[in-house]
Structures are given as structure tokens and as C-alpha cells.
A and B are shown apart, each in its own frame.
Chain A
Amino acid sequence: EPEVTQTPSHQVTQMGQEVILRCVPISNHLYFYWYRQILGQKVEFLVSFYNNEISEKSEIFDDQFSVERPDGSNFTLKIRSTKLEDSAMYFCASSEYLNTEAFFGQGTRLTVV
């Protein structure tokens, strides 16, 4: 069965450093998403991406965050200057069409120290 792949599975970074979280969505999918889940809290929507541009973003997704699909297969989330409160599990998801199932990756656990 096709799957969304995320790397790394765990990343530890110092406060203020830049991090890039990587995702390989399912190959024929057109819609891409990032979500995050702080430990013990709800899964939160960050951003959706379609046709090489952001289609929607949440209030969480401020100027410190950016997304890119650099080569037609990878989908990345960059946090420019990490803060302690960015520590969370980050999930990438993709779907083939609108109103169809979204496939989630296993997540990247980001720990900011």
C-alpha cells in the first residue's frame, strides 16, 4: 500500500536554529498538508499546499514557517528560528483529490532544547 514517508523520525535542535522537516507524499497526490501535535494535545492544522502554492494556512503558520515542494516529489516544512514551543510531532499528509481520504505520515518528533 502506498504511504507518506517522513524524515527524520526524530530531530533535536537548539533554540534559534533552523530545521527542515521532509516528507515524500504519495506520488500521484495533488494536495499536501502539514499538521502538528504538541504532546498530549490535539492535532492542529498548519498549512495546505496545492499547485505549488499555499492554499490555506492557520494562525500558527507565521513568518517563521515556510513550505516548499522543491523537486516534484519532496514536500518540506522549514522553521526558520525554532522556539521551545515548536517542540511537537509534525505530520505530513497528502490526498489525491479534494474530499477524499488523506494519508498521514508517521511524523517527525521535533524537540527544541
Chain B
Amino acid sequence: DAKTTQPNSMESNEEEPVHLPCNHSTISGTDYIHWYRQLPSQGPEYVIHGLTSNVNNRMASLAIAEDRKSSTLILHRATLRDAAVYYCILSNNYGGATNKLIFGTGTLLAVQP
């Protein structure tokens, strides 16, 4: 399973943008880049995913480097509710009927009021 590297923790101020980096230098051509987050005492929650192009949705934006060896999750205006562990995960079904997610330790985002 392709590996990702994220900072252990980051801090942000409320209502400011947050850029969460992820390195995935061994990514293969068919690996999708997924971001999930886990709020305290809750199950993981999907944030965004992409393959090659940058992606935007109501929660966040995903910027993918041209060589795909890194990506950045962008929260445009952090709120206190965004305090969570953010996971960057590479997933590929490799032709099989599964898209298992291999979670690392993620980045613990603290948001200060």
C-alpha cells in the first residue's frame, strides 16, 4: 500500500485558511488521493478526493501537485468545528472489488478562537 507522510499536528486561527500538506512520493498512476477527518469521538468523515486535477467541494479544496507526489488540503475558513485529525490516504482498487482505506496517524488540527 502506497504510503503518505503528514505533519503530526498543526494550529490555525478561526476564520483563517488552513493548508494541510501530504507527501506521497510513491504514488502510482491509478492511486486516488482521499482526505478524511475524524472529529473527537466520531467515525471518520469524508472530506474530498481526487486523481490528477484540483478539486473543490463545499467542505474544502484539494490541490494536487503536477507530479502527484504531494497534495494539499485547503480549508478556506477554519471554524472550531474543523478541529479534528485529518487523514491523507491513497486508495486504489487494483481491479478488485474493494477500496480499502489504510489510515495513518494523520494531522491533528487545532483551531484557536
Q: Verify B44–A43 contact, CB threshold 8 A.
A: yes
Q: Verify A105–B43 contact, CB threshold 8 A.
A: yes
Q: Which of A7-51 contact B (CB under 8 A)?
A: 31, 33, 35, 42-45, 48, 50-51
Q: Verify B44–A91 contact, CB threshold 8 A.
A: yes
A102 to chain B, nearest CB (A): 6
CB of B68 within 8 A of chain A?
Answer: no
Give the nearest-CB partner of B94 in chain A. A56
Q: Verify A101–B49 contact, CB threshold 8 A.
A: yes
Q: Verify A48–B100 contact, CB threshold 8 A.
A: yes
Digit string of B64-107 for contact with A (CB within 8 Å is 1, else 0)? 00000000000000000000000100010100111111111100
Q: Which of A47-62 contact B (CB under 8 A)?
A: 48, 50-51, 55-56, 58
Secondary structure dominating the interface of A: strand
Q: What bracket does the count of chain A residues touching chain B fall in?
A: 20 to 34
A-B contact count (CB 8 A): 66
A-side contacts of B38, CB under 8 Å = 43
A106 to B103, CA, bound (A): 17
CB of A95 within 8 A of chain B?
Answer: yes
Q: Which of B46, B87, B91 contacts A99 (CB 8 A)?
A: B91
A-side contacts of B101, CB under 8 Å = 33, 35, 43, 45, 102
CB of A104 within 8 A of chain B?
Answer: yes
Q: Verify B46–A42 contact, CB threshold 8 A.
A: no
Q: Verify B98–A55 contact, CB threshold 8 A.
A: yes
Q: Verify A56–B43 contact, CB threshold 8 A.
A: no
Q: Which of A44, A48, A106 contacts B98 (CB 8 A)?
A: A48
A99 to B97, CA, bound (A): 10
Digit string of A84-113 for contact with B (CB within 8 Å is 1, else 0)? 000000010101001101111111000000
A102 to B105, CA, bound (A): 19
Q: Which of B32, B43, B87, B100 contacts A91 (CB 8 A)?
A: B43
Name B residues whose Cβ lies closer than 8 Å to a Cβ of A: 32, 36, 38, 42-46, 49, 87, 91, 93, 96-105
